[in-house]
A and B are shown apart, each in its own frame.
Chain A
């Protein structure tokens, strides 16, 4: 089973600052996605296939990486961006696993 590790566990930043979130896989993955989850809400797809913004996602969100190392960058944090972010990979079996999440909170 491919295990995803996210770092840091918590990121404390101020509005306007840049956020860099990491997701590392225990083996090479065929695709990686990023989700945002605000309190009391369902997760929302942000990034597909490592670097493609989902429909309606602002340009301040970007994804990069391949193989085992991936990054989600939020160029300038808006108040609504303080949330938990999960990465998720697709592989042969089991076909889906999620990372443990990174919480971005207000400094």
Chain B
């Protein structure tokens, strides 16, 4: 069964860059047909798609976050990463990585999520 696990600092200072990594196990990130995705959930709020990346590096971002977001992929280590720059308190959220299935247009596997707090 495919597993995804987020890792990274739980506390980031305002104006700095949030960096998270998702490690994929029991499956290859090189598999065609999937986008590797980041989604966040602010405290008590709904789900917000941040962006996703294909295994050969094409990335797509939520227009509302595009200028601040970079998603990259490391196929040799079966990982993909998120960088969100110039963070503010509004970026405090649980960040999930997930696999997006291109044929059906949904997220079939999710990480457990990691809480990132933006505070000085």
Contacts and interface: CB of A to CB of B under 8 A. Distances in A.
A36 to B, nearest CB: 12
Contact of B104 (A49, A98, A100): A49
Contacts of B60: 95
A99 B101 CA distance: 19
B47 interface: yes
Contact of B106 (A42, A45, A99, A100): A45
Contacts of A43: 47, 96, 107, 110
A95 B52 CA distance: 10
A90 B106 contact: yes
Interface residues of A, number: 26
Contact of A94 (B37, B62, B96, B106): B62
B46 interface: yes
Interface string B20-41: 0000000000000000010000
A44 B113 CA distance: 12
Nearest to A45: B108
Contacts of B110: 42-44
Given A33-B104, A48-B101, A90-B105, 8 more contacts: A41-B112, A42-B112, A88-B107, A96-B100, A98-B46, A98-B47, A100-B46, A101-B47
The 8 closest A-B pairs by CB, nearest first: A90-B105, A33-B106, A31-B105, A96-B49, A42-B110, A98-B47, A48-B104, A100-B46
23 contacts: A1-B63, A31-B105, A31-B106, A33-B105, A33-B106, A42-B96, A42-B111, A42-B113, A43-B47, A45-B107, A45-B108, A48-B101, A48-B104, A48-B108, A49-B104, A49-B105, A86-B46, A88-B106, A89-B105, A94-B62, A95-B49, A95-B105, A96-B49
